[in-house]
Structure 1
Amino acid sequence: MASSCTVVLPETRWSKSDPRYTKLNVDAAFFADGGLGATSAVLRDDRGNFVAAQCKFIPYAADAITTEAMSMRDGLAFANSLSFNRIEAESDSLEVINFCTGHTRWWDEAAALFAECVDIGTMIGKVTFKHCLRSCNQVAHVLANHSYCNKSSFSWLNEPPDIVVGKLVDDVTVF
Structure 2
Amino acid sequence: MKTLIIAAHPNLAYSRINRALTEAMREQPDTTVHALYEAYPDHRIDTDREQDLLDSHDRIIFQYPLYWYSTPPLLKTWFDEVLAYGWAFGPGGEHLKGKEIGIAISTAGTADSYQPGSYNLFTIRDIAKPVEALANYVSAHYLPPFAIHNANHLTDEQIAEAQAAYVKHLADSRHVKTAGLITINK
**Alignment TM-score, normalising by the size of structure 1:** 0.30
Higher helix proportion (structure 1 or 2): 2
Higher strand proportion (structure 1 or 2): 1
Greater RCO (CA < 8 Å, at least 6 residues apart): 1
